[in-house]
Amino acid sequence: MRIDIIGAGALGLLYAGKLAAAGVKIRLWVRRPESADILRRKGITVKEQNGESLHMKYPGFDVQLMKNWPPAVQTGDWVFLMTKQNGVREAVECMAKGAGKNLHIVSMQNGIGHTDTIAKYLPYASIYPAVTTEGARRSGEVVVEHAGKGVTELGGALRGDSGSVQPFSTAGREKLLADKLTEAGFETRLSENIEKSIYRKLLFNAVINPLTAIWRVPNGELLSSPERMDMLRQLYDESIRIFESCGIGWQAEWWEELLQVCRNTAFNCSSMLADVMAGRRTEIEAINGQFIRLAREAGVDAPLHKAIRDIINGMPYIQGGNG
């Protein structure tokens, strides 16, 4: 199996390193020549929680610059789009320059809105929304810590060639991918209801990420005082009211599950806190910004999401930074 992975952030490196070690032909696509250089010189190191580590040397995997898309040799059986939300448009604009017809794109972004962007630029590609709870943290340019084993859910294919994003049949090729991912150490399930998982993750990200970024605390600290818990709950309740106004299904267990995510990842920095600390643009628009959009469409208010979005957007970031 050949997989093109776009984006060498924490998740991109984790998947590239472990899949290459499992014998998958990996081609990693990056934006910056310096990133390509260092990956060729140093390879990828994945550190597991049990102290084991894996080192994948170049050319055990290939590295290419995104501006050189499409690949000279055939495109992979799969394309994993692993950029942050903010990098999706640039990546798909680049991909739209090459033939987009036979692309099978797995997209793993936080938040919502990216499948519409992909479909807009690549209407004939098959898009597989995926949700992962794998924890990954970069501790060096090419070193990634597998900070928590999770589960990846892979949805059925969508296509945008009918004018809106619609389900599309791809004759079961997803099963082969799920098996390969599981073999490489990523427990993967095919999901009949990926939308629900996407909204659940959107909710968790909308509550946990901005609050950790504002208070500059790891996830577990959100549970450390009644005042913080109260804020968490208010933001959660506002989000649920918005889901209800839009007819988006939710489950009563989600509150307990959200608290459990904070406990399971107690010592981790959320991705938004990591972005703020590194001066990168955050994913606030794709997360809390989407709640504000949903609320507007349903004719209800979203005062907490709005206040939180304004605070995060007021934090300085480096224009054109590495994200």
Strand partners, 132: 152
Handedness of CA 18, 19, 22, 27 (dihedral sign): negative
208 near ligand KPL, rule: CB under 6 A: yes
How far, CA to CA in Å, does 42 sit from each of 20, 34, 56, 61, 68?
Answer: 15, 12, 9, 12, 22
CB of 52 to ligand KPL, least distance (A): 22
User: Quick one: 58 or 250, whose CB is closer to ligand KPL?
Assistant: 250
By CB under 6 A, what part of segment 110-129 binds ligand KPL?
110
By CB under 6 A, what part of segment 299-318 binds ligand KPL?
none
According to the 3-state scheme, what is the secondary structure of the chain? CEEEEECCCHHHHHHHHHHHHCCCEEEEEECCHHHHHHHHHHCEEEECCCCCEEEECCCCCEEEEHHHCCCCCCCCCEEEECCCHHHHHHHHHHHCCCCCCCCEEEECCCCCCHHHHHHHHCCCCEEEEEEECCEEEEEECCEEEEEECCCEEECCCEECCCCCCEECCCCCHHHHHHHHHHHCCCCEEECCCHHHHHHHHHHHHHHHHHHHHHHCCCHHHHHCCHHHHHHHHHHHHHHHHHHHHHCCCCCCCHHHHHHHHHHHCCCCCCHHHHHHHHCCCCCHHHCHHHHHHHHHHHCCCCHHHHHHHHHHHCCCCCCCCCC
User: Quick one: 123 or 220, whose CB is closer to ligand KPL?
Assistant: 220
User: Quick one: 5 or 261, whose CB is closer to ligand KPL?
Assistant: 261
CB of 85 to ligand KPL, least distance (A): 11
**Which of 35, 117, 209, 290 contacts ligand KPL by CB under 6 A?**
209
- The answer to whether residues 323 and 84 touch, using CB atoms and an 8 Å cutoff, is yes
CB of 89 to ligand KPL, least distance (A): 20
191 near ligand KPL, rule: CB under 6 A: no
Select from 308, 306, 312, 282 the least CA-distant residue to 111.
282
CB of 243 to ligand KPL, least distance (A): 17
By CB under 6 A, what part of segment 231-290 binds ligand KPL?
261, 265, 270-271
CB of 225 to ligand KPL, least distance (A): 19
CB of 206 to ligand KPL, least distance (A): 9
Determine the interface stretch with ligand KPL among 13-21, 31-39, 203-211, 314-322 (rule: CB under 6 A): 203-211
CB of 159 to ligand KPL, least distance (A): 27
User: Quick one: 18 or 84, whose CB is closer to ligand KPL?
Assistant: 84
147 near ligand KPL, rule: CB under 6 A: no
User: Binders of ligand KPL: how many residues, by CB under 6 A?
Assistant: 10
CB of 232 to ligand KPL, least distance (A): 12
**Which of 29, 186, 204, 291 contacts ligand KPL by CB under 6 A?**
204
Determine the interface stretch with ligand KPL among 34-42, 70-78, 201-209, 240-248 (rule: CB under 6 A): 201-209
Determine the interface stretch with ligand KPL among 6-14, 157-165, 202-210, 289-297 (rule: CB under 6 A): 202-210
Residues that bind ligand KPL (CB under 6 A): 110, 204-205, 208-209, 219, 261, 265, 270-271
